[in-house]
């Protein structure tokens, strides 16, 4: 994380702490954890709430093509920065809850969604809209990766059940400010009886 990113990120958090979920950009340890299951073969990736691009850089390091990145950011403070840093990525200024209203891709080619959104501070209806929209673009075995600073998955069990999803914590790190965990959210696979 470039040191120059800390002040603008912190100022954006001060202006709207509900929209900007953390006081500082994500560090290298959590970015590595968040992207550990993603490779160039994953195909297109949607990133929700990229902020200053910590996870975006990690995705590029994993071999994901910049042309395969769609960055969805609601904070207007970060849009020009993302456009400069990732000129070949598609950068969209929009609320992630509007994903279902857009036609970002034909069919469902996306292999992963990486989310830096603060789901814990959102209304349940908004969380449902974000997940429904994201899973509308994900391939059948695609996954949604979510960061959280809380002790459990930020998507309540009742929402996971409603949407036919499951969540598994794939790791945590204390080497982030604040310490964080990552959950992989995926469709439940039918059980064989």
- Beta-bridge mates of residue 185: 144, 167
Does residue 163 surpass a pLDDT of 60? yes
How much is the pLDDT for 128?
A: 98
% of the chain at pLDDT higher than 90? 70
Does residue 150 surpass a pLDDT of 60? yes
Structure tokens at 72: 């969805």
Pairing of strands 180-187, 138-148: antiparallel
**Digit-coded pLDDT (tens) for 38-59:** 999 999 999 999 998 999 999 9
Mean pLDDT, rounded, for 130-150: 96
CA distance 29 to 17: 23
Does residue 125 surpass a pLDDT of 50? yes
Residue 53 main-chain phi, psi, to 5 deg = 105, 20
Structure-token match 């200024």, residue found: 93
% of the chain at pLDDT higher than 70? 85
**Digit-coded pLDDT (tens) for 9-39:** 455 555 555 444 554 456 888 999 999 999 9
Query: 96, 48 in Cβ contact below 8 A?
Result: yes
Candidates 136, 145, 188; CA nearest to 50 is 145
How much is the pLDDT for 193?
A: 56
In three-state secondary structure terms, 129 is: helix
| Angle subtended by helix axes 54-61 and 28-35, to nearest 10 | 50
CA distance 50 to 75: 9
Structure-token match 């964080």, residue found: 180
Structure tokens at 142: 């695609």
pTM: 0.86
CA distance 39 to 6: 28
**Digit-coded pLDDT (tens) for 86-118:** 999 999 999 999 999 988 988 879 999 999 999
Residue 81 Cα distances to 4, 8, 17, 45, angstroms: 12, 10, 20, 19
How much is the pLDDT for 144?
A: 98
Does residue 145 surpass a pLDDT of 50? yes
Does residue 1 surpass a pLDDT of 70? no
What domains lie within the chain, and their CATH numbers? 3-187 (3.40.50.150)
Residue 174: band (very low, low, confident or very high) from pLDDT cuts 50, 70, 90:
confident
Instruction: Report whether the peptide linkage leading into residue 118 is cis, meaning its omega lies within 30 degrees of zero.
Output: no
């Amino acid at each position: 994380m470039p040191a120059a990113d800390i002040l603008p990120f912190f100022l954006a958090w001060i202006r709207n702490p509900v929209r900007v979920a953390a006081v500082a950009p994500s560090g290298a340890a959590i970015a590595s954890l968040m992207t550990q299951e993603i490779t160039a073969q994953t195909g297109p990736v949607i990133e929700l709430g990229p902020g200053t691009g910590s996870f975006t850089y990690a995705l590029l390091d994993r071999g994901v093509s910049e042309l395969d990145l769609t960055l969805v950011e609601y904070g207007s403070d970060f849009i020009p920065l993302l456009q400069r840093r990732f000129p070949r990525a598609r950068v969209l200024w929009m609320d992630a809850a509007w994903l279902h209203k857009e036609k970002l891709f034909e069919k469902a080619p996306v292999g992963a969604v990486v989310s830096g959104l603060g789901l814990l501070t959102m209304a349940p209806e908004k969380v449902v809209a974000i997940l429904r929209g994201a899973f509308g673009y994900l391939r059948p075995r695609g996954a949604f990766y979510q960061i959280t600073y809380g002790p459990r998955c930020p998507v309540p069990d009742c929402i996971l059940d409603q949407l036919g999803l499951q969540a598994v914590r794939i790791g945590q790190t204390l080497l982030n400010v604040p310490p964080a965990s990552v959950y992989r959210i995926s469709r439940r696979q039918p059980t064989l009886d």
